[in-house]
């Protein structure tokens, strides 16, 4: 069982997986030296800067979306745990609506309902599609962050509240010096998981015409028009997303195990 392997002396990763390492090295060597001979790999090499720019767009959208979503989500989460029902109700509605709507529908919503240009003062400022997609992803992100925040506060044993109240802490003091410092540790794994999910959600941006990784891949596959290249480029896109999201999910698992008993 799993317990046996963790109880034995921990080996470093390369020594535990020699086969995988050899396979990776062989693949890298094949890509570097074996590639330029075939037209398919030459085309991939030629298109790789464009793909990198496209993926950069995906990552930019995901980072901005999680930043906006976290700020908004913490605010809404704070409203959701307040003792007043008048602030709780709008927060509950916000969370329910944006957690239960399909992300694709929200992205279409922000793309088509928001204006193409913003009128600020006397000047018109362009409102590019990728910003709208970012907002479209930030909305469900904020609802999820709010739920993560509410869940983290709810997971603190109520005895801590009672103990600190008996020590004459005010509600604000309890939050600042007792509850919140523990919450951030508990929120980190689900928050990172949410970030990975949002990164995968940025793939939807191509459907509303943002020049992201998938859009670039489609253009490339139509331009080069070779069967082998089409196969290669779509699986490269898959591999790129995997290479970005898999480490995040591994770190999340590691943190979950580490914080599980503390």
Residues near other proteins (CB under 8 A) = 97, 100-105, 108-109, 112-113, 196, 200-204, 206-207, 214, 221, 227, 230-231, 234-235, 237-238, 241-242, 245-246, 249
Which residue shows structure tokens 């005010």?
170
**Which residues does residue 124 pair with via DSSP β-bridges, in sequence order?**
119
Tell me the closest approach of the beta carbon of residue 129 to other proteins, in angstroms: 14
Tell me the closest approach of the beta carbon of residue 84 to other proteins, in angstroms: 27
**Which residues does residue 117 pair with via DSSP β-bridges, in sequence order?**
126
Nearer to other proteins, 182 or 249 (CB): 249
* Total residues found in the chain within this entry: 262
Nearer to other proteins, 167 or 239 (CB): 239
- Terminal CA-to-CA distance of the chain, rounded, Å? 24
Q: Measure the CA–CA gap between 118 and 126, rounded to whole angstroms.
A: 6
Q: Residue 121 gets which letter from DSSP? A: T
Tell me the closest approach of the beta carbon of residue 204 to other proteins, in angstroms: 6
Nearer to other proteins, 108 or 161 (CB): 108
* Nearest Cα residue to 247 out of 196, 184, 183, 175: 196
Torsion from C-alpha of 88, 94, 95, 101, nearest 10 degrees: 160
Tell me the closest approach of the beta carbon of residue 128 to other proteins, in angstroms: 18
Tell me the closest approach of the beta carbon of residue 156 to other proteins, in angstroms: 22
Nearer to other proteins, 78 or 245 (CB): 245
Q: 45 is written with which tokens?
A: 């090499």
Tell me the closest approach of the beta carbon of residue 77 to other proteins, in angstroms: 20
Longest CA pairwise span in the chain (Å): 76
Tell me the closest approach of the beta carbon of residue 124 to other proteins, in angstroms: 21
Nearer to other proteins, 155 or 160 (CB): 155
Nearer to other proteins, 89 or 243 (CB): 243
* Nearest Cα residue to 196 out of 208, 188, 205, 186: 188
Nearer to other proteins, 164 or 202 (CB): 202
3-state secondary structure of 120: strand
Phi-psi region of 101 (alpha: psi -120 to 50; beta: other; left: phi over 0): beta
DSSP letter string, 74-100: HHHHHHHTSS-HHHHHHHHHHHHHHHH
């Amino acid at each position: 069982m799993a317990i046996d392997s963790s109880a034995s002396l921990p080996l470093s990763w390369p020594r535990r997986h020699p086969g995988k390492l050899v396979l990776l090295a062989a693949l890298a060597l094949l890509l570097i030296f074996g590639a330029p001979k075939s037209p398919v790999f030459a085309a991939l090499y030629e298109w790789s800067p464009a793909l990198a720019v496209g993926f950069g767009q995906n990552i930019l959208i995901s980072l901005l979306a999680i930043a906006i979503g976290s700020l908004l989500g913490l605010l809404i989460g704070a409203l959701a745990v307040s003792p007043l029902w008048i602030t709780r109700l709008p927060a509950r509605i916000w969370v329910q609506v944006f957690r239960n709507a399909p992300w694709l529908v929200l992205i279409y919503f922000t793309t088509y309902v928001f204006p193409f240009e913003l009128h600020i003062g006397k000047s018109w400022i362009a409102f590019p599609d990728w910003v709208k997609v970012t907002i479209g992803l930030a909305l469900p992100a904020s609802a999820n962050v709010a739920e993560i925040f509410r869940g983290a506060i709810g997971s603190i044993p109520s005895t801590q509240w009672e103990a600190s109240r008996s020590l004459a802490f005010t509600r604000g003091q309890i939050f600042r010096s007792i509850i919140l410092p523990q919450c951030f540790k508990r929120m980190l794994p689900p928050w990172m998981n949410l970030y990975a999910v949002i990164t995968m959600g940025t793939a939807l941006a191509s459907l509303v015409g943002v020049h992201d990784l998938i859009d670039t891949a489609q253009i490339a596959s139509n331009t080069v028009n070779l069967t082998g290249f089409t196969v290669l480029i779509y699986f490269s896109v898959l591999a790129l997303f995997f290479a970005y999201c898999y480490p995040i999910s591994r770190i999340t698992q590691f943190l979950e195990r580490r914080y599980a008993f503390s």
